[in-house]
């Protein structure tokens, strides 16, 4: 039997603990508990997500801020039905519900402060998008105007899709499609980025 205190203390990776992903403004304000239906499944997927995607980001850019992490199915349904920027539970790109047995996914909405500072000075969000495409095996990303926050998700077989609500809005690259920019063009966009730093796990 999991206790909420025990669940929050679970270390998912070198840099992240489960507690960081359980916080929810929607849950706090509307007094809805954000607790997994299947904690073990949520932990397993959260661990794959953090080790594969978030740890390399934090190693490379410094601290990563989690804006919205895990959502229980009940909390996400409430957010969707009340217009609180939550996709419906059955939406194929919904990544916040980590413990749906039939959908292998885990994701979060994050901000990279290092890039947010440059974005606020006019940096193109696609510079970061193409860096992600060339360095990390993410499944999907969605970019948002505030702070250049973005959803990033892990799946066992990542389709590699990038979408944005920042102009130019729409899909930058579709799953399975060739990128619209050649490798050299993409690399020129992020030539001043910090050197990529991954982590080798035993």
pLDDT of 146-182, one tens digit each?
A: 999 999 999 999 999 999 999 999 999 999 999 999 9
Q: Judge contact between 108 and 21, C-beta under 8 A.
A: yes
Written as six digits, the tokens of 43 are 């932990």
Question: Each residue of 93-102: pLDDT tens digit?
Answer: 899 999 999 9
Q: Nearest-CA neighbor of 52 among 155, 148, 195?
A: 155
Q: In the CATH hierarchy, which fold is given to the domain comprising 10-189?
A: Muramoyl-pentapeptide Carboxypeptidase; domain 2 (3.30.1380)
Domain segments of the chain: what residues? Answer: 10-189
Question: pLDDT category, 202, cuts 50, 70, 90?
Answer: low
Would you say how long the chain is, in residues? 202
Q: Judge contact between 13 and 51, C-beta under 8 A.
A: yes
Per-residue pLDDT at 86 exceeds 90: no
Instruction: Give the separation between CA 65 and CA 69, rounded to whole angstroms.
Output: 10
Instruction: Give the separation between CA 196 and CA 179, rounded to whole angstroms.
Output: 21
Q: What's the whole-number average pLDDT of the chain?
A: 94
């Amino acid at each position: 039997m999991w206790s909420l205190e025990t669940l929050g203390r679970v270390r998912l990776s070198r840099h992240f603990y489960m507690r960081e992903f359980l916080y929810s403004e929607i849950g706090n304000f509307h007094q809805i508990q954000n607790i997994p239906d299947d904690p073990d499944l949520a932990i397993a997927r959260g661990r794959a997500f953090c080790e594969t995607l978030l740890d390399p980001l934090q190693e490379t850019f410094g601290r990563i801020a989690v804006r919205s992490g895990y959502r229980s199915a009940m909390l996400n349904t409430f957010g969707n039905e009340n217009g609180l920027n939550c996709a419906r539970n059955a939406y194929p790109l919904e990544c916040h519900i980590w413990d749906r047995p039939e959908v292998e996914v885990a994701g979060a909405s994050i901000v990279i402060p290092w890039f947010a500072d440059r974005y606020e000075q006019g940096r193109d969000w696609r510079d970061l998008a193409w860096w992600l495409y060339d360095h990390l095996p993410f499944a999907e990303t969605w970019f948002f105007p505030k702070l250049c926050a973005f959803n990033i998700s892990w799946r066992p077989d990542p389709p590699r899709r990038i979408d944005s609500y920042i102009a130019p809005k729409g899909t930058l690259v579709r799953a399975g499609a060739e990128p619209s920019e050649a490798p050299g063009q993409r690399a020129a966009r992020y030539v001043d980025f910090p050197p990529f730093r991954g982590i080798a796990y035993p």
